[in-house]
Amino acid sequence: MSVDAPEAQAAPQAPKDRPAGIGLIGWLRWGWRQLTSMRTALVLLFLVALGTVPGSFLPQRGLAPEKVATFFDRHKTLAPWLDRLSLFNVFSAPWFAAIYILLFISLAGCVLPRTKHHFSQLRSRPPKAPRNLRRLPEAASYETAAAPDEVLAEARKILKERRFRLDAYDDAVAAEKGYLRETGNLVFHLALLVLLFAVGSGTALGYKGNVLVTEGEGFSNTLTSYDAFKGGRSFNASKLPPFTVWLDSFSANYLTSGPNRGQPTKFAAKVRYQAGLKSPVTSYDLQVNHPLVVDGARVYLLGHGYAPRFTVRDGKGQVAFQGTVPFLPSEESTFTSEGVIKVPDAQPDQLGIVGYFWPTAVPNQQGKVVSAFPAAWNPQVALYVFKGDLGLSNGAPQSVYKLDTAKLKPIVMGNQTKPLAIGQTLTLPGGAGSVTFDGYKQWISVQVNHDPGRVPALSAGIIAIMGIVTSFLVRRRRVWVRAKAADGGRTVVEVGGLTLGGATPDFDAIVERLKKAAPEEPPNTDEE
């Protein structure tokens, strides 16, 4: 018996090549296209606007370091978490800088190629007339006795008068204008790019310094004079201009009646300044939104408060401290303020004093003293006095607005004693000395700001507004006029118009002028 041979099996096919993918270069190109798209630029612009929100309702260290300290005192749990997110230094935060730089790169990659393409379009010819002009949104057709060349010549004349860019083809005239719309749009984005660069460069090259100045005192434009100072990444401290500012007096006006009683109406600081060692001393009325400009820097009035004056005598009767101490407002509406006096030279024990100042002290319904008005109509202070070791000898930095009571013993509690009026003295128990409330002065907080990118940023902002307004007012328009010979010696004229974003405002006027310029009947050439 014979056995059939098995059927020959088909030869296995070679496996198809798998896709290799786009590779590293492809992914980089894809990422660049995504980053430089207008959609990404809009998202980044929204993130920049969103990132500035915390800076508008949270105090910033660069503007008001004393308010940041007060916020930490009132929100001991929340404030450290917000600080970890750099929300008290929003405009210097790494995450804000990252968004800002990405927005700059995105706009540059989006706008610069568009600008190059736009300039190439400005040099190009207007497009040829479509085959069927009657299908355009605006179209007109009529017959005339004029020859086609005469119609096209008249069309060129009319369109040139209306500032159209012209080009002639075999049987048609193409006209175009409105490139100023795209020009305005590009100017807006380029100005926005310059604005971002100006703000960034101004931040890198400029500086900000905050200082608290009491009446009768002053400060020089040096690093050691500032309570808080922040220079840009490229800032050179050796180039600080050597000017000096003195505060002679400060006055504040408040509403004394009505529902807005206590609201400020005017803050004014009488200052003197000297631009250099050989420059004359000049007076200036420093007010909110009216900064002093000196040596390219601007001195802004930010805030104000009270600085009570004390004389502290120790247990041996010696004057251990005499001077004014700035108190920080704890209630902005009434300027109830608090401050700290540290007397390390007192004998036999060092003294630490926490004081509360009421500009207009009155008792409330519970009998507690409060301030009824922000002006100093009845100034009083309450003092909490401690003795012991202030902890200044170990070299650890301490805030002048806080008192560490870990190694101190309380000897006077202000809530158990009568507040002091001007001229009154508190005698400390146990022969520890005395504290006299001598009066008060006022202080102001100022910010010295030097921003070399301010003027370029302002100019770029104005140009950006002009560009966006231009792009809204101008519309891109195209008009075609075709003239063809017809039977009977007449000419068929077709006119088409196309406007991006609406109707062509002068289309009907162009058609009417073309009709009026053409004779209704052909000329009579018969010989008499």
SS3 assignment for 7-72: CCCCCCCCCCCCCCCCHHHHHHHHHHHHHCCHHHHHHHHHHHHHHCHHHHHCCCCCCCHHHHHHHH
Residue 448 has a CB neighbour count (10 Å cut-off) of: 25
List the domain boundaries for the chain.
23-119, 132-178+475-517, 207-450
Helices (H) and strands (E) in the chain, counts: 10, 24
Phi, psi of 284 (to 5 degrees): -155, 145
Strands of 452-508 (E only): list them.
477-485, 491-499
Q: CA-CA distance, 509 to 125, in Å (whole number)? A: 24
User: What pLDDT score does 3 carry?
Assistant: 47
Lowest mean pLDDT among 214-223, 342-351, 487-496: 487-496
Average pLDDT over residues 408-434: 90
Q: CA-CA distance, 314 to 302, in Å (whole number)? A: 37
Q: Mind listing the pLDDT tens digit for each residue in 143-177?
A: 888 888 888 999 999 999 988 888 888 889 999 88
Residue 262 has a CB neighbour count (10 Å cut-off) of: 19
Within 267-366, residue ranges assigned H as helices are: none
For residue 480, what pLDDT band results from cuts at 50, 70 and 90? very high
One DSSP character per residue, 147-166 reads -HHHHHHHHHHHHHHTT-EE
Q: Is the bond into 429 cis (omega within 30 degrees of 0)?
A: no
User: What pLDDT score does 527 carry?
Assistant: 44
For residue 307, what pLDDT band results from cuts at 50, 70 and 90? very high
9-23, 104-118, 357-371, 512-526 — most confident range: 357-371
Q: Which residues are within 8 A (CB) of 251 and not within 5 positions of it... i.e. 6 or more apart?
A: 266, 267, 268
For residue 504, what pLDDT band results from cuts at 50, 70 and 90? low
Q: Mind listing the pLDDT tens digit for each residue in 80-121?
A: 898 888 888 887 788 888 888 898 888 888 888 888 888 877
Crossing angle of helices 94-122 and 23-35, rounded to 10°: 90
Using DSSP's 3-state secondary structure scheme, residue 317 falls into coil
Q: Mind listing the pLDDT tens digit for each residue in 284-293?
A: 999 988 999 9
User: What pLDDT score does 320 carry?
Assistant: 94
Q: Is 15 left (phi over 0), alpha (psi -120 to 50) or beta?
A: beta
pLDDT at 375 over 70: yes
Q: Which residue has the higher pLDDT, 437 or 418?
A: 437
Q: Which residue has the higher pLDDT, 238 or 353?
A: 353
**CATH number, domain 132-178+475-517:** 3.30.310.80
Q: CA-CA distance, 455 to 462, in Å (whole number)? A: 11
Instruction: State if pTM tops 0.85.
Output: no
Percent of the chain with pLDDT strictly greater than 70: 92
Average pLDDT over residues 344-372: 90
Helix/strand/coil percentages in the chain, nearest 5: 30, 35, 35
Average pLDDT over residues 210-220: 94
For residue 528, what pLDDT band results from cuts at 50, 70 and 90? very low
pLDDT at 61 over 60: yes
pLDDT at 4 over 60: no
Average pLDDT over residues 37-41: 84
In the block, tokens 């009491």 appear at: 214
Q: In whole numbers, what is the pLDDT of the chain averaged over residues?
A: 86
pLDDT at 381 over 80: yes
Average pLDDT over residues 226-232: 85
For residue 14, what pLDDT band results from cuts at 50, 70 and 90? low
Instruction: Check: CB of residue 143 under 8 Å from CB of residue 155.
Output: no
Q: CA-CA distance, 249 to 245, in Å (whole number)? A: 12
Using alpha carbons, select from 237, 159, 144, 244 the residue that is nearest to residue 478.
Answer: 159
User: What pLDDT score does 443 carry?
Assistant: 95
- Between the alpha carbon of residue 225 and those of residues 242, 246, 463, the distances in Å are 12, 13, 39
Strands of 87-163 (E only): list them.
138-144
In the block, tokens 């507004």 appear at: 465
Token pair recorded at residue 135:
């299908």
Token pair recorded at residue 219:
């400060």
Q: Is 439 left (phi over 0), alpha (psi -120 to 50) or beta?
A: left
Using alpha carbons, select from 346, 436, 327, 428 the residue that is nearest to residue 390.
Answer: 346
Average pLDDT over residues 434-459: 93
User: What pLDDT score does 15 carry?
Assistant: 55
- Between the alpha carbon of residue 92 and those of residues 1, 89, 203, the distances in Å are 96, 5, 9
Percent of the chain with pLDDT strictly greater than 90: 32
